[in-house]
Amino acid sequence: QLNSIGSIGNEAIMADEMLYRDYVYDTYLSLSDEFPAADTVFDERYEDGLQAAMYESSGSNAQLLYNVGYIKTWLRNNCSYSLSAGDLPFGKDFVTNFITETKKGSCSHFASSAVLLLRYKGIPARYVEGYIIKPGDFTSTKNPGETDTVEVTDARGHAWVEIYIDGYGWYPLEVTSGYGNIRTDKVTEAETEPQMTS
């Protein structure tokens, strides 16, 4: 879907979007001065894959697509979903501890990590919390005009990421292993080679 995003056609809206874009880039690229977890994620495989992706594609979103795919794949292949990740040791950074030490955590770990990794690569990103409601939660046999109700409890709470795409706006990304039939257990070393898809 990211590959098919086009720009806004209306000139007045484009002018407003340019003003908002300045705000987004000033706000949603901020990082602390030190981010050691980036060295763990963006190794030589990242550089090799980026060069290949840029060589194979001339599209304007090629680098964005590669970075998003790489980060999602790295998190999926190297970290596992768990609601019992343990307490954060005193003085440790939440994201760095997740990426370099425990490699297991909840949706807040995955989303927080992805936001900082995306920002590190120059992609405006923000952390979002809300609730998950899936199509299967609704009754499939409804007549026109009938409504359906779904009970939304705290157990439906979830965190995800939104990235900002110039000329389009905020685009949601699911980065948590364990959602959408993604495996939740730790993978073996042989399975950790990233495979990028657009």
pLDDT tens string 181-190: 333 333 333 3
Tens digit of pLDDT for each residue in 46-97?
998 888 888 787 667 888 999 999 999 999 999 999 888 888 889 889 999 9
Helix axes 62-78, 44-56, angle to 10 degrees: 140
Q: Do 161 and 125 meet the contact criterion of CB atoms below 8 Å apart?
A: yes
CA-CA-CA-CA dihedral for 2, 8, 31, 58, to nearest 10: 50
Task: Give how far Cα 67 sits from Cα of 2, 120, 126, 128, Å.
Answer: 12, 10, 16, 19
> 182 vs 25, which has greater pLDDT?
25
Q: What's the pTM value of the predicted model, to 2 decimals?
A: 0.78
CB 160 within 8 A of CB 173: yes
